């Protein structure tokens, strides 16, 4: 060789430092469970049993407007054959009975509005008490949290007061935080909004006896200033840095973002090119950081125009209206899934039908290809490990594994379908591709 050890050491010292920096900033996709959706509901309406009630309403809508697999498949134009349509229909019903809501956000912002201070104080305390009741009764969804108002000059103090009352009451009444509890921060025009929120959360944790970092946050991406600063630099990595390890998600706000970019109401839709651009920036900025990405909501509700005693014609018109709204939500969800956004918002219980139908058909339609790819990938990785090679594409393996984790956690597939990849249930539950490789050495 021409190169000597001194030269090689100098070069590899530089590389080791750079690689360590990359590993710190982009640790890879999180192996934690990501919910398929978040249901937003006004804080004034929340009760411990709210999500169970939403499931009942969703099932009632499905019984009325999709009583069989053929009707659902025709309304949504589901892919696959009759057998797959039946499987999707059955698994959607089972999901609505077992776990109708994966994530619920108690909303003190748009879904609550501006109310007199005593009224918001009352609902902050009451909603926290209901969460504590639901936690003790075991009826909360797997993920839950609150959305506070923005931290701007007009609403900042009101927002912080609600946050304080809610968290303080929750700890007093429940003794702890629910699993996967999160605080959503909306309308972020500057990174110091995140820094200020973290300062407040640290103080709450210290005073309430919570572990440092226990209060996690989600960031709403609904202003152009949340994506680019005044000098045209991408802001999102700074927001994650200022969150100091607390940020678990970034949620795109379709309607506030499109309004802020002067798109007229008729064209404020989830698949608008302006939305796709913003979400692409989110992906480029945050992929590999472990922060989950979520798309927004379809704001056309699947509700028929007629109620009460109906004629056959009125019932048919109701079904047509609901099916059109379902189809729109289905198409929007598929657009998100194909774009790599595996989570979105739902605003009405009847939207749960199409949320799960879209996600389940998406996972089942791509299952054979994903099974073959992960099976081959695991075999290649195991072979490299056995012969002593370094397998350096674990991030890709984790991404493939996450496909099955999302599908399995949601109920789209069962473990027999996962087993076709060659993984054991223990390996799947471990949720880590690196641990799978270590276990197969």
Q: Quick one: pLDDT at residue 321?
A: 97
The continuous run of DSSP H or E covering 193 comes out as helix 191-208
Maximum separation of any 2 CA atoms in the chain, in Å? 90
- The DSSP bridge partners found for residue 220 are 251
Q: Quick one: pLDDT at residue 183?
A: 98
Q: Where are the beta strands (DSSP E) in 26-164?
A: 37-42, 103-107, 143-147
Alpha carbon distance 48, 158 (integer Å): 24
Alpha carbon distance 35, 32 (integer Å): 10
Q: In the sheet that 247-252 helps form, which strands lie side by side, from edge to edge?
A: 292-294, 247-252, 216-221, 181-185, 143-147, 103-107, 37-42, 344-346
Q: Quick one: pLDDT at residue 392?
A: 54
- Cβ atoms of 223 and 187 closer than 8 Å: yes
Burial class of 274 by CB neighbour count within 10 A (0 to 12, 13 to 18, 19+): middle
Q: Quick one: pLDDT at residue 422?
A: 86
Alpha carbon distance 26, 33 (integer Å): 18
Alpha carbon distance 252, 249 (integer Å): 10
Q: Name all domains of the chain by residue range, CATH numbers in brackets.
A: 37-365 (3.20.20.360), 367-439 (no CATH)
Separate counts of helices (H) and strands (E) for the chain: 17, 8
Task: Please state the pTM of the whole predicted model.
Answer: 0.91
DSSP code of 110?
Answer: T
Q: Quick one: pLDDT at residue 390?
A: 47
Q: pLDDT tens across 46-79, in order?
A: 999 999 999 999 999 999 999 999 999 999 999 9
pLDDT along the chain (441 residues), means of 10: 95 94 84 92 97 97 97 96 96 96 97 96 98 97 98 97 98 97 98 98 98 98 96 95 96 96 94 96 93 95 94 96 98 96 96 97 91 83 56 71 88 89 85 79 70
Label residues 414-424 b or e (16+ Cβ within 10 Å = b). eeebbeebebe
The continuous run of DSSP H or E covering 293 comes out as strand 292-294
Report how far Cα 110 is from the mean position of its chain's Cα atoms.
Answer: 19
- The total number of residues written for the chain in this structure: 441
């Amino acid at each position: 060789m021409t190169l000597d050890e001194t030269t090689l050491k100098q070069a590899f010292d530089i590389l080791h430092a750079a690689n360590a920096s990359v590993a710190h900033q982009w640790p890879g996709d999180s192996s934690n469970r990501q919910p398929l959706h978040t249901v937003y509901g006004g804080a004034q309406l929340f009760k411990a049993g709210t999500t169970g009630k939403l499931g009942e309403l969703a099932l009632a809508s499905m019984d009325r407007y999709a009583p069989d697999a053929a009707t659902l498949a025709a309304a949504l134009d589901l892919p696959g054959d009759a057998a797959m349509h039946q499987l999707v229909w059955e698994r959607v019903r089972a999901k609505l009975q077992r776990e109708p809501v994966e994530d619920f956000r108690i909303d003190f912002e748009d879904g609550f509005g501006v109310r007199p201070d005593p009224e918001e104080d009352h609902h902050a305390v009451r909603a926290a008490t209901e969460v504590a009741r639901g936690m003790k009764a075991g009826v909360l969804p797997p993920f839950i949290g609150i959305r506070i108002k923005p931290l701007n000059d007009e609403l900042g103090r009101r927002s912080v007061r609600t946050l304080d009352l809610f968290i303080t009451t929750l700890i007093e009444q429940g003794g702890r935080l629910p699993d996967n509890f999160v605080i959503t921060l909306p309308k972020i025009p500057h990174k110091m909004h995140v820094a200020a929120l973290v300062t407040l959360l640290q103080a709450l944790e210290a005073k309430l006896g919570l572990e440092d970092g226990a209060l996690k946050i989600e960031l709403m991406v609904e202003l152009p200033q949340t994506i680019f600063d005044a000098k045209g630099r991408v802001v999102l990595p700074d927001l994650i840095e200022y969150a100091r390890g607390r940020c678990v998600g970034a949620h795109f706000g379709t309607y506030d973002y499109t309004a802020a970019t002067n798109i007229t109401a008729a064209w404020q839709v989830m698949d608008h090119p302006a939305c796709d651009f913003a979400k692409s920036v989110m992906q480029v900025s945050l992929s590999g950081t472990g922060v989950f990405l979520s798309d927004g909501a379809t704001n056309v509700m699947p509700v028929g125009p007629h109620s009460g005693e109906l004629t056959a014609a009125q019932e048919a018109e109701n079904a047509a209206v609901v099916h059109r709204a379902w189809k729109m939500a289905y198409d929007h969800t598929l657009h998100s899934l194909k774009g790599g956004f595996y989570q979105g918002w739902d605003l009405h219980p009847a939207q749960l039908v199409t949320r799960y139908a879209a996600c389940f058909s998406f996972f089942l339609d791509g299952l054979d290809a994903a099974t073959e790819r992960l099976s081959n990938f695991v075999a290649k990785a195991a072979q490299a490990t056995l012969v002593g090679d370094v397998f350096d594409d674990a991030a890709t393996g984790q991404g493939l594994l996450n496909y099955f984790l999302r599908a399995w956690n949601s109920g789209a597939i069962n473990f027999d379908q996962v087993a076709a990849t060659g993984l054991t249930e223990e390996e799947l539950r471990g949720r880590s591709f690196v641990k799978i490789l270590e276990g197969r050495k």
